[in-house]
Amino acid sequence: ELVLGRAALFQFAIREPELISRVHLRIKIVDGKIYVRDDGSTNGTYIDGQDIRNKGDVEVPAGKEIDLVSAQNPAARIVVAKP
């Protein structure tokens, strides 16, 4: 599991305290599929413009974008590559 947030203890820390939550997003791969989970960050995580906060593990198909904070003006964007 890969955890993104502003806390220095995670693999990837994003230093935007007004935008990124301490624990913002969790990413994991299960059976070759990518899943993300936002357990209630303040500013949200979006897949194709849809807010996934508190939706549990959400599968992210290849070619989709994961936006942190805003779908229109993200603080960070992760693009899931096509195989």
Q: How far is CA 9 from CA 23, 25, 75, in A?
A: 10, 14, 20
Single-letter code of the amino acid located at 5: G
Beta carbons within 10 angstroms of residue 29's beta carbon: 10
**Per-residue confidence (pLDDT) for residue 58, from 0 to 100:** 98
- Checking 46-50 for CB contacts under 8 A at 24+ apart, the result is 46/70, 46/71, 46/74
* CA atoms 32, 54, 52, 69: torsion sign: negative
The pTM score is 0.84
The pLDDT tens digits of the residues spanning 38-70 come to: 989 999 999 999 999 999 999 999 999 999 999
**Per-residue confidence (pLDDT) for residue 11, from 0 to 100:** 62
* pLDDT, averaged across the chain: 88
